Amino acid sequence: MFGSDRFGLAAERFARVFGTPGFLAGQTLLVVVWIALNGLAVSLRWDPYPFILLNLLFSTQAAYAAPLILLAQTRQADRDRAQAELDEHHRDALAEHYNLLLEENLKLTRHVAELTERLDRR
């Protein structure tokens, strides 16, 4: 059920990687290199200060990142809900089983008490 569609799986992988220290370090390195190349290589200044192209790239990244992260969170919430339902069913089954065991134990205890009473009468 979960993970059957490729897009959802890709969104979850993206969301898992997006906030990692490695991703943030890589993005920081990219920004430093971008600014350094634009500042030092005067003849290559494809995005001079105030770095409009870099801002556009970050805006595009944010425009896609937010919905992908929300999609991944929705899918995780669906999995959590399904797991909670399974847990509830399992707890109910265990409670029923324990109640049956308790009833059997009560029957046996009454039977032992009855036998003990018979023995005491003799």
pLDDT in tens, 43-92: 777 788 788 999 999 999 999 888 888 888 888 899 999 999 999 999 99
Q: Does the residue 102 lie in any domain?
A: yes
φ/ψ bin of 35: left (φ > 0), alpha (ψ from -120 to 50), beta (otherwise): alpha
CA–CA gap between residue 120 and residue 44 (Å, rounded)? 106
Q: Which two tokens stand for residue 22?
A: 């490695």
Q: Does the residue 77 lie in any domain?
A: yes
Query: What is the span of the domain harbouring residue 50?
Result: 6-121
Average pLDDT over residues 24-52: 84
Query: Into how many domains does the chain fold?
Result: 1
Question: Is a pLDDT exceeding 80 seen at residue 42?
Answer: no
Does residue 91 or residue 15 have the better pLDDT? 91
Per-residue model confidence (pLDDT) at position 4: 61
Per-residue model confidence (pLDDT) at position 1: 44
Question: Is a pLDDT exceeding 50 seen at residue 20?
Answer: yes
Q: Does the residue 36 lie in any domain?
A: yes
Per-residue model confidence (pLDDT) at position 100: 96
Q: Does the residue 1 lie in any domain?
A: no
